[in-house]
Each structure stands twice: as structure tokens, then as C-alpha cells.
Amino acid sequence: MGSQADPDLAPRLRELLTGLPDERLPITYQQAAEALGLAPPRTIQRVALALEALMREDVAAGRPMIAALVVSRRGDLPRQGFFDLAVALGRFPADPAGHAAAYRQELRQVLAERPQ
């Protein structure tokens, strides 16, 4: 991954995710890219890098990972990079068999802590 991260994108993405009503969540990576007005190339990669930055911030601050609000359009789970980083940050178990349950718990925590 790496050096293509836009330093302004992560705060904008956090603002977007914080502002969406619960009934519109979770959103897909593509929906996030469109809502942020990103133009190709690498729109999904740029969203993913911003989500990784948010994950690091949230774990460091002891908060649920707001990145759990963004999922793949091919299902109701985030992409593999989310799980890889969640494990690396010590938030999720190393065993992939526990990832879906850990994700659902994380999603519940994020939704429970959103401003009403």
C-alpha cells in the first residue's frame, strides 16, 4: 500500500461516516468514493488507505473502528485489508474463522457510539 495516501481524505471520510444516518449504513467502498467526489484512478485504493488511517487512529484512541461502516459490494463484510490490519492492530483474533463475528461486534460498537 503506501505513499499515495491523501492526508485530507481520512478526516473527510470520518466526517462523511459520522454524518450519515444509521439507516444508510454500512456503505460500500464505491459509495464512499462517490460521496467524497473522488475521480479515477485508484478511487477504491484511496478510500482503503484513508480507512486504514482511521483504523489506526481509532485503535490508538481506544475507540471502535469507524472503518467498520464501509463494506465490499460483494457482501456484507469489509475487504480483506480491513481484517489484516485489524489483526495487526490487535483488535481482531488472528484466526480468520473469528473474523466475521469480530467484525459484527465492531460494527455494533461503532453504531452504538454514534451521536444520536
Q: What is the pLDDT along the chain (116 residues), one digit of tens a residue?
A: 344 567 799 999 999 999 999 999 999 999 999 999 999 999 999 999 999 999 999 999 999 999 999 999 887 899 999 999 999 999 999 999 999 999 999 999 999 998 77
pTM exceeds 0.85: yes
Strand intervals (E) in 1-116? 27-28, 70-71
**Closest of 49, 23, 93, 55 to residue 36, by C-alpha:** 49
Strand intervals (E) in 9-111? 27-28, 70-71
Per-residue confidence (pLDDT) for residue 115, from 0 to 100: 75
CA distance 68 to 6: 20
**Is the separation of the CB atoms in 92 and 48 below 8 Å?**
no
